[in-house]
Structure 1
Amino acid sequence: THTHGTTPTWNHQPAHKTPTHKLPTYPFQHQRYWLDTPPGNGDVSAAGLTPTGHPLLSTAVELPEGKGTVFTGRLSVKDQTWLADHAVLDAVVLPASAITELALFAALREGGDRVEELAIRTPLVLPEDGSVQLRVTVAASELSLHAREADDAPWTLHATGVIGSGGETAERSVTPGPGARPIDVAGLYDRLLRTGLGHGPVFQGVRAAWRDGTDVLVEADLPEDATAADFGVHPALLDAVLQPVLLDGEGDDDGALRLPSALTGVTLLGAPGATALKARISPAGDDAVTVFLTDADGAPVAHMDAVTLKPFSPADLPRRTGTHDALFEVEWHAVSSPATAATAGVTLHQDADALRAALDTGAATSLAAVLCVQEATGEDGETEPPARTRALTHRMLALLQDWISDERTADTTLAVVTRYAVAARPDEDVADLPAAAVWGLLRAAQAEHPDRFVLVDLDGTDASAAALPAALATGEPQLAIREGRLYAPRLTRSPAADPGDRPSAFGDGTVLITGGTGTLGTLLARHLVTHHDVRKLTLTSRRGTDAPGATELAAELTGLGADVTIAACDTADRAALAALLAETTDLTAVVHTAGHLDDATLPTLTPHHLD
């Protein structure tokens, strides 16, 4: 009405009152609802790669000087959903038939038609989320299959082989003879499942089987929605014809799980893309069989001189969890020195007093000020490491606070130099514990104030001292110099050790958990008992058995086979803690989970916080 010249009553209130809602007291939580797009193949030719058209190996790159070819691919149970239909001990494992298909494809692309040998070194476990990168490398006649889950994860060798061409193959009948006896395959997949081998619909292709003397004949096909045209032999179909011989005996389940571990003399004989197979499987020595395959019309498809079946146990399965290889550790790696390192604008100060004096005269307002950390003594001349550590960190804290608050140093980097405060090489140990505490303090300062501080650790040699200007020119925030060479800390993956190879980290005695009745302590206590066979625990907290849930926790851990003591002890009370330790004569490990919230940033940090 307003646009047509009428003046409405702007302050009119409706008869009903619109309800109002209080806004939340916390910041709005912004969440993206766009679907994450998985990496695609795109136009790989622009990157110097050649598309292959294979469902599992999408690209190829020829190595220079005729040194071979690398085939690449990416596997995911979300993209190749049929791969999820093959499970070993509840883990999705790439079947040996798929590895055989990869090897055959690589052989054909390199001018061969036969896989002379193929050995499966390590099962390739596919993650529930994400994907696995594949690399099949062919150099001369040697073949290898590597895979990894993440872009920065280490490569794992899963299979090796030899490719070739030629080889004589005798055709064999795949039709059951007059004396052949049918094998009941109705319960085949239930029996296989009881051994730990699970098959989904695509892999449940066995339709009939017979025993003909010592041979086994099998007929199998693919579901109608499965695509086989781009495979030499579809992995699910090749896996299916071998399933009846994975069980020992004549179909009776003996509880043993067997899987193909090696293949020899694998040859493609006919056109690719068969959707149904007939097979004759014959004994070929201990734990090995010969396999001859035809399509549904009897035309030859493939021949395998020998398929070796090996018992498979949980120990053979690589561990794959959400945190597999998610543990990192710090390693010191050599870094190159700059060709030239200017020393102009770099001033050297032997101690904090000298640096402060230089600030007062203006001499320290340069490109970089180098402070050499000197040994310190505690109050009353104490020389024990704890007293020296407190004295040195208190002194360094005051200096750092002065440094960041002084406008004269705003454009100057403070380089703090220590000696053997870090172990930069495997044969080293930390020789100066108070200086190591200085490193901890400076690392926190670096996180809060980037580009203001540099840490350099020397070994006392003249070559390392001479390399100090080069170290400052690298731009690295933390460096160690050993015999003139520069080393910088880097995060590297720490592979999970096999449980059988891991030594006991907690010993056979008592494990003390401070804050043991709290949330973290409770979780840790259960974990130590159930995963590390810890049998003697002492759990401390300020309230001891009066803490909420303490009695129930002790009963639970006792039921799991542990001897549990819950003690009231404030770990901040030195005398109480000393008395507890004196009573625990077989202490082998201490885990500190007691929490104390008293944090502060560098400008507000006090010596009390450090102590």
Structure 2
Amino acid sequence: MVSVPLPVERVREELTGYDGRVSVAAVNGPASVVVSGDVQGLDELLTHWTEAGVRARRIAVDYASHSAHVEELKDELLDVLAPIEPQAGRIPVYSTVTGEVEDGSGFDAAYWFTNLRQTVEFETATRKLLADGYGVFVESSPHPVVSLGVQETIEDTEGASGAFTVGSLRRDDGGLDRLLTSLAELHVHGVSPDWGKVFPDTARHVALPTYAFQRERYWPTPAPRAGDVSAAGLASAEHPLLGAAVTLAGGEGALLTGRLSLDTHGWLADHVVAGRIVVPGTALLEMALRAAEEVDCAQVEELVLEAPLVLPQNGSVDVQVSVGAEDGSGCRPVSVHSRPGTSRETGWRRNAHGTLTEVAPPAPAEPREWAGRPAGSEEIDAEEVYTRLAEGGLVYGPVFRGLRTAWRQGEDLFAEVRLPQAEHATADAYGIHPALLDAALHAAAHPEFAGPGAEARLPFSWRGVAVGVRGAAEARVRLTRAGTDALTVTLTDPAGRLLASAESLSLRPLATDLFEAPPADDSLFRLTWTPAPGLKGGSGAPPLTWHQDFRSAAHSLTGADAAGPGVVGVRRRPAVPQVAEVHRETAEALAFVQAVLASDENGPGPRALIVLPADDLAACGVRGLVRSAQSEHPGRFVLVEADRELTPAEVAGVLAFDEPEMALRDGTLSVPRLARVRVEGEARAG
């Protein structure tokens, strides 16, 4: 069996010529299909899809369910299943066999044979559930398998945006804690279980603490939705840091791309270096490991980290991981580049480069379960480690403070590291979670190992890195000194199986000169006044009545002689900037604004032209009030800040230009515009 991330219509087209050999076994979602059949046919299709850049994967089973091969077992299966006596159940079943809602009374031997023989129409059943108003999907299984297809179907179904899916248990995490966590996921979506049955006679409500919460996130961050990159000739990279992958023509390499931001990868905000949010070097290494998988390389032979990848508080960063052609010895060059995601003018910056190799790493040692504290070791205070790192400019938030306990044994360090619970659900998507691997290195900062006068050091060069068991949320670490500023790194899981290893990791002191000033982007703007283009004054202004204060202007809009369509102008004189004056002026301006809007009851009311003296502190309240009115009633209020009285031609020009706010300074009429803040020292290629 092979999983294919393509629409079923395209899969069926590509199965032409494979009749009787390979067939569609299951349709789990709009782009989640499984095929089954002859091994040779599957091998041919797998090769074809791989060359086309489709991330098809073989499923680890040795039988071809839902294919013609099941016919060979028909008589035997019908005989074995014959004693089944189906009965109607209380809970309706949306059948993936008939496509209808069933009560179970027809689930006899023939039904179950058909279930095993024909295509599983899981997407059809999901769509029918959505159409019937169901919006909560719980996958009861040892590990989420079809939840991805359900989520795809939800996102592809109009009006189903409020629906969601959760799992129940997970691979290597099948205990009561995992089940309760899944119940909690339901609860935060607004679907609460009967807690009395979950905790019979043992649970009670407790009060929340009255002090402010610290360093905890309580608002859920939605996962970024993956678009259909196949429409652009790409394949999904199936990785949290990388969105798309494409194999270059001629087998010359591959390119993987992604976009990082705090909106989509909020956990990166917990990695602060020299006051900046920096993507950890372990994340760049994880990208290189994913690139190695794309071109069938076994490990990262070397990766040198050249420049930090800084994330802005707002906005995003585009990332490219490129792999070159094989050099004849099984090695390929790899590099990681980045640039601001809001700019197409800024060039790409290389953050890391290195080499991938097809040569497999040495076989891991025999697994040994964790044995607690190593004999003859000295315990290291984890909090002291983080204090020392912070003093050196490396400030870690909860996601990266994964060091739980550590020991020093001669020239070796042993540590236990663990991701916070909130990150356990995403660990499966990584070869090795960057925050877990980063935490594995923290113990090396302790003065008992690094020396009392050592500066804060960051990863610089990795050599011989390979991943074993994927998706770990906790690890036992062994760091062995391999030179003055180098370590050998080994991570294992609680059962002693290898998670990741590095033949050598070189560390270097933190160099703040590598942090270039970030380019201007859409995160920081300032207000500028730009001369109004083409505005030289005008003529033919609508009827205009001037008033010297807001009170008389408001009075002119009421009563039998109220002004009709046209313009009511207020020329405010400079005033002494006292609190009482600000309050009085703002209150009178509010009455005027309300009168302008109330005049619409007797037909179209007038526009209001408000001229305020330049740099008048007492007018600030009026200015803010009028701007609020402009946002609610566009076109009704025009605000002008002037250093003298406007001429009739200038008034006509202001009204004709149709800007909500203008300024007259030194005889020039200007309009307010936002301009990006330029960072000192920024250079742009010309």
Q: TM-score, normalised by structure 2?
A: 0.41
- Scaled by the length of structure 1, the TM-score of the pair is 0.46
